[in-house]
Amino acid sequence: MYARERVSHVWLVDPASRILEVLALDEGRWVIHATFGADERIRAVPFDAVEIDLAQIWG
């Protein structure tokens, strides 16, 4: 559905494993662009202008 509607990026968040995967749509297929975990401070597309502290996400 997201690919059909041309959403360019998807974030998959697994709070139990404390992992964030960033996927990018590339010619109709989802490709893992980045994987983050633990208590990293990240900048991830398409919001890479903002630093995110994953420790705050996981609580």
What pLDDT, in 10s, does the model give residues 19-49? Answer: 999 999 999 999 999 999 999 999 999 999 9
The CA angle 58-2-5, to the nearest 5 degrees, is 140
Residue 17 lies in a domain: yes
Measure the CA–CA gap between 35 and 22, rounded to whole angstroms. 6
Q: Is the pLDDT of residue 8 over 90?
A: yes
Domain span holding position 21: 9-58
pTM of the full structure? 0.87
Q: Indicate the number of domains in the chain.
A: 1
Residue 3 lies in a domain: no
Residue 1 lies in a domain: no
- pLDDT band at residue 59 using 50, 70 and 90 as cut-offs: confident
Q: Is the pLDDT of residue 15 over 90?
A: yes
Burial class (CB in 10 A: 0-12, 13-18, 19+), 9: middle
As beta bridge partners, residue 22 has 11, 34
Burial class (CB in 10 A: 0-12, 13-18, 19+), 28: exposed
